[in-house]
Structure 1
Amino acid sequence: MGYKSMWESGDPRIAADLRPDTPHPARMYDYYLGGKDNFPADRAAAEKALAANPEFRTTARANRGFLTRAVRCVAGLGVDQFLDVGTGIPTAGNTHQIAQAVDPAARVVYVDNDPIVLSHARALMAGSGPGRTTVLRADLREPAAVLEAVRAEGLLDFSRPVGLVLAAVLHFLRDEDEPYRAVATLLAALPPGSHLVLSHGTADFIPAAVRDRVTGVYDKATAPLVGRSREQVREFFDGLELLEPGVVTVPLWRPEGEPAPGAERVSMYGAVARKI
């Protein structure tokens, strides 16, 4: 179970790995957010998903807001190193930008299995300062390999608290991919005082016919879309101390203003919890 570091991002084989003719959820998500790092196949699939559920774009943006508030919260609690797994395509308001705005010396390691993320690694490295941002290629479905990659590079100090970020990624894992085991394996490597930042798509508020149309779009992509219930999302936090307000739709997690109408029905749950 090897991994590839950011320094391999110039490998010409990466271009072949992009599979531009097959929709990729990370690139579709980039399209929802108004990004430009996507291909025609991604845009066509995203438009089909939006036709089935026009709130996809709202949900994606609400999740970015949650990520900002959650990472800022954890950094404000003194955590100065973050492991962001399944980060997706870099866009404004990433974990390193949020954490280093709180603590310029914060270290952030991104892990993703999509080669397009590596193509943006040097952009992530841009700028100067005491903080360090690194990108590794590994797969969340192989959590031991993720940890091996991070340890091999000596990137994080696992004797001190780490912020583990799993934002809008676990719903791309089927049950047979053992998402609960993946989260538990990563958390087991982290010391007390570490925090889990997690958001996850749900079909709790979507009619079955709409859900089936959306999942049909993703079934033709490189990863499926598996919505889980609030209780199923809550299970990812078993054994942890949930921060208030617990598991809620992402716009309702410590909003900075009055939530928009319908915030309680946005199809993404989020929460932050502390390892005790």
Structure 2
Amino acid sequence: MTLARLVVILLLVFVVPLAARVAWWTLRGDLPGDWGSADWSSAGLLPRPADKPDAMIHVYAARVGRWRGIVAHHAWIVVKEAGAARYTRFDKVGWGSPVRTNGWPADGRWFGNPPQLVAALEGEAAERLIPRVRAAVADYPYRGFGDYRAWPGPNSNTFIAHVLRATPELGAILPPTALGKDWRPLESWLSLTPSGTGVSLSLGGYAGITVGWVEGVDVILFGAVAGIDLRRPAVKVPFWGRFGVASLV
């Protein structure tokens, strides 16, 4: 393949979807003007804890706010032990205390954008896995002040990817637009995928390739993901997301 053909392919696969996304996002008329005016309330996806006695683990993702919503989702994880009186939500953010516990409603909107359920595990299997989720949250290596970088990482999605790598039984796949999920330090350039069903090569989050039975085949360029899902047929369009079999839960 000549260099010219490679450039054309990259333009078609990555730049054209970005331009289309920018145009579509600009035409939206319901974007929150600032942090204070956005809706952070519950989206009503979860029942009251008293009405859900079984243990559960849920992973959510929602588009981020303002111009960053063009390209990125923010992900978080929610747990509840059997019989617990409340849900516990874990996020990594770039201000204040970096790893937040219950900073927002468990199923809250993010900058006004409703969350989507990425993965769910309930009952005894969730009860067995929750201690490992909590341990992974506690030992996340980039949890201090100044450890957050919106791009290419480590960021909120790098944090959740770390938790998912510690709990491959969840079989969770973050959306292709979860910018930062593929970030790893250069010395850890090769690793298993979060599900443990494949391998991932990452050059500091700027470029990489992932091949896994659960994750599919991804090509990463500057954090954007283009790929295909073979297990549940779909294509992953940079900046837009996944199109195909709708649910991975």
Return the TM-score normalized by structure 2.
0.29
The answer to which structure has the higher helix fraction is 1
Higher relative contact order (CA 8 A, sep 6+): 1
The answer to which structure has the higher strand fraction is 2
